[in-house]
Amino acid sequence: MATWECRLAGEGGATTIEAPDRASAARLLRARGSTPVSIEVLDAGTSPVAGGTLRAAGPRNAMSRGETAMFIRELATALTAGLPLTQALRTLGSQGRSAAQRAMIESLVERVEQGKNLSDAAAAWGRPFSELIVNLIRAGEVSGRLGDVLMQAADLLDRDLKLRRAISGATLYPAILLVLIVGAVIAVVTIVIPKLLEPLKGQVALLPWPTRVVSGAADLFIGYWWLILPAVVAVVVAIRRLYASESGRLWIDRRLLRVPALGTLLRDVAVARFTRTLATLASAGIPILAALRVTKRTLGNAAMEEVVEHVCEQVTAGRTLADPMEKSGLFPPMLVQIINLGERSGKLDEMMHQAARAFEDRTEVSLKLVMTAFPPLLIVVMAGVVGFIVAAVILALLQFQESVSGM
């Protein structure tokens, strides 16, 4: 049970009541002859369900992205087969779900049985039901094609999950390689180099500048490692805080788009998401302006989101999608032409679906190219660093030999 703070019409102050949800609290108050003005949760608490507990209020992420896509697909299949919504949800809840997932499904069933729409029930639960999923569910309910729209939502989530896994898989090897390279260089500079240069100290008047650089780096790491580590942590925290702010995230994302190769990849990923998400929302019957605002939050890049927000403003003013997208310079000309043609022909959703497949393939190609070129680039950088260290040692030994020969 949850505890609710209730303000009643014609009465001062507030009273508290225990009920499993806000609707039940309102019914109890009306049964007492009181009219509630506002009902706010004080203590979420729990209410019993079969095999576990049901969260009364507050979002909880009961499923991962993959599990969410599978759940929505299974629900779409059940609805398409003709099962009523509550029966379909109960059937899914009995199929080996975790306690958190059963609690989530019971919450959905309870709210639907109280007369709420599935979209409202999903929005009340929170994660994993994002704004995108809630809007698609609502569009399916309004259009009477909930099963079909849920299947489209599952396809969209699967494609986005596939893209995320491709990015994670492609970046894993370079990330491991980078950590090993940095660790190896630090070990050589702090352990090997000092032992090699120790006999030369006091024997050579002035060491070559590469040797002085390497020796200075070794002294810095050895003498001030206790200061370097907190400094690195502080820089990372500062960057995270900067990225957490709206202006800081916009500043960083704009500059990331200008990085060679990486900027192209980030732009292709955002464009692929934009195209697929907007196509899915438009085909589900969501108005284009609302679809744009939902799509904006899925791009993952503040600079691209700013452009989409400008597009929304232009559409609100009665202009087309294509013109502001073309002027931004961030969207490919082919996509701009497809959108322009789709707006004129009235087949925007169909043409966007076709374009989405092309841009997803393009993103995969860009990802493979960048991640194929990155490891060799790291190896070249490491070879340059190691070569510089070896040159520093050899030059110091040669200078020492010359000083000994001249004596």
Nearest to 166 by CA among 303, 299, 360, 330: 360
For residue 67 the two structure tokens come to 């599990």
Q: What are 285-333's pLDDT values in tens digits?
A: 888 888 888 888 888 888 888 888 888 888 888 888 888 888 888 888 8
Q: What is the pLDDT of residue 233?
A: 92
d(CA 163, CA 272): 10
Tell me the pTM.
0.66
d(CA 350, CA 334): 15
Helix ranges, 40-84 (H): 65-80
Nearest to 179 by CA among 367, 375, 371, 369: 375
Q: What are 158-190's pLDDT values in tens digits?
A: 888 888 888 887 788 888 888 888 888 888 888
Q: How far is CA 100 from CA 51, 112, 146, in A?
A: 10, 18, 25
For residue 365 the two structure tokens come to 């190609």
Strand segments (E) across 330-370: none
Q: Please report which confidence band the pLDDT of residue 235 belongs to, taking 50, 70 and 90 as the band edges.
A: very high
- The helix or strand, by DSSP H or E, that contains position 390, with its residue range, turns out to be helix 348-405
